[in-house]
Amino acid sequence: MDTLKDDTSTAIARRLRLERDARGWSLADLAARSGVAKATISKIEREETSPTAVILVRLAGAFDLTLAGLLLRAEGHDDASRVMRAAQQPLWRDPDSGYVRRQVYARPDHPVEIVQVDMPPGQRVVLPASSYAHIRQAIWVQAGPLTVVEGGEQHRLEAGDSLGFGPPSEVTIANDCPDTCRYLVVLSRS
């Protein structure tokens, strides 16, 4: 199983720079498009800090990529196979919340992605509306409960429940319980 650890920061830093360079963007251009401070982007590219999920989502969105798309490009995965074997599904741990994200399925030529997330007890992630601008998304809770606040509307999901997201808005995903919550995210690019 590929686990994104120390070498992940290097791969992400390199990929961010490649994506910026390919578009002819300066740090200021990427900062303006992503809403991430220029100094933060610079520190990530120099490997002085590890980006959180929220920051990566904002940066990926600026490049018109999903988080999975950015991470897969950073890892340089071979896109020749349509099969993603369990042992090859990349893991990434958010340094802020500690949640673990498994990329179950993603290909650049396929509109659907599947992600499994283990959210530790007492943790939450707040994602900006911009991260949902070009995707449709649904969550299916496997071991819960999970609280999702979308556009000011709160949903309490139990194991087996699912939620399809509406128009782009800020989303908070929280585990307010004493046990880890596991859920699947299925998204399609529009």
How many whole angstroms from its chain centre is CA 83? Answer: 21
Residue boundaries of the structural domains of the chain: 3-75, 86-189
Taking the CA atoms of residue 48, residue 54, residue 58 and residue 59 in that order, the dihedral angle to the nearest 10 degrees is 30
Strand 91-93 relative to strand 3-4: parallel, antiparallel, unpaired? parallel
- The rounded distance, in Å, linking the Cα atoms of 68 and 40 is 21
pLDDT, one tens digit for every residue, the chain (190 residues): 333 445 677 888 888 998 998 899 999 999 999 999 999 999 999 989 888 888 988 898 898 887 877 877 777 655 556 788 888 888 888 988 999 999 898 877 778 889 999 999 999 999 888 777 778 899 999 998 999 999 889 999 999 999 999 888 999 999 999 999 999 999 887 6
Span 3-75: which CATH code? 1.10.260.40
Fold assignment, 86-189: Jelly Rolls (2.60.120)
